[in-house]
Amino acid sequence: MRIEFRKKEEWFTFTDHQGNVIERKTEIRFDPLTGETSRLIFNPGLTIIPPDYTEKSKLTAGTNCPFCNENLMKVTPVFPQEIAEQGRFFHGNAVCFPNLFPYSKHNGVVIFSNQHYVRLEDFTPSMIRDGFMVAQRYLEKVMATDNKARCASINWNYLPLSGGSILHPHIQVMVSESQTNYQSIIKEKTSSYEKQTGKSFFLSLIEAEKKLGERWIGEYGNIHWIHAYAPKSHNDFIVVFPQARSIDDLKKQDWLNFAKGLTCIFKVLTEQGFESFNLSLNISEDSVNKEPIHVRLIPRHTSGILETSDINFFQALHQESLAFYIPEEISEKARSHFQKIDYHFD
């Protein structure tokens, strides 16, 4: 069994109102791990105009926001003492506290900025690093006190188009006894790959992508960045931490390296007009099959004067992703930013 980048083409032929023959191609790509399909479709000139939340941030900030300084320690809940002696976790400006409306058995929320509305281009590596470091502390404590909860992830809905209900930057930290559908299929398929090849799928993937170079973006601090072959949206960035098989393996420098790479990706999104995204960092704490920690990030948007959603029947009901942009072209844009990373920032 080897990694395959498989695709097929379908052509639709028709005529316009003047009788001119038009041919449109749909490219169907198969995910090299799961076999799930994504469709690259004709781009009709999609123009993304990012929303400006400046005025809404004025209405929702300060006393109106539970995450702003005025309210943070007054209204946010606290963990039991066996989880956090002080009720919350702190690192720099980052604070972790319980989610009032949890998605799983353990669910922390991390805020990592005193500023209520942070534009994509204004996130700094240190800000992101501190947020993920305090998320790590919470995960480690939960797993040390609950040996049944082993399905973990760190998730980020940035701005309302991604499903974020509060403008103030925050991430969700989840630990559950039950895998999500994504975690389940990844575990099943990577286990099968390892049994057949004796190798880790994600390590094999970055090796194959680096050799091809088409979707390879860069390596920084031994953290690898690629674009998905069969993307789950118009962009689909995959990050692999090859030396981290557990949350305990991640160090401060790893988070800083990740944060630097992430700010490069933010520049790529901004160039395309994207302002919002979903991110998920998945951790395999399975004692048998421990794949490296990996991240996926996709942009979210609306388009046109009607502010049309980026999700339609294809994604919602057929469970198949659509992409207007070519992964190899997006990868080229991202590579140019990775070549400019400031290696002296610590």
Per domain, the residue ranges of the chain are 6-40, 54-338
259: confidence class by pLDDT, cuts 50, 70, 90: very high
192: confidence class by pLDDT, cuts 50, 70, 90: very high
Q: Which fold has domain 54-338?
A: HIT family, subunit A (3.30.428)
Considering the chain, what is the average pLDDT of its residues?
Answer: 93
Residue 100's nearest CA partner among 126, 66, 127, 62 is 66
Q: What is the mean pLDDT of residues 161-165?
A: 93
Residue 343, pLDDT > 70, answer no
Residue 333's nearest CA partner among 276, 287, 274, 290 is 274
- Write out the H or E segment, with its range, that includes residue 97: strand 94-98
The model's pLDDT over 2-33, given as tens digits with 9 standing for 90+, comes to 899 999 999 999 999 999 999 999 999 999 99
Question: What is the rounded (10 degree) CA torsion for 189, 193, 198, 204?
Answer: -100
Q: What is the mean pLDDT of residues 165-181?
A: 96
342: confidence class by pLDDT, cuts 50, 70, 90: low
Is residue 11 exposed (0-12), middle (13-18) or buried (19+ Cβ within 10 Å)? exposed
Q: What is the pLDDT of residue 177?
A: 94
Residue 229, pLDDT > 80, answer yes
Residue 51, pLDDT > 60, answer yes
Q: What is the pLDDT of residue 286?
A: 67
Q: What is the pLDDT of residue 198?
A: 94
Residue 346, pLDDT > 60, answer no
Q: What is the mean pLDDT of residues 251-261?
A: 96
Q: Cα angle vertex 145, ends 142, 148, to 5°? A: 85
Distance of alpha carbon 188 from alpha carbon 191, whole angstroms: 5
Q: What is the pLDDT of residue 344?
A: 52
In the chain, % of residues over pLDDT 70: 97
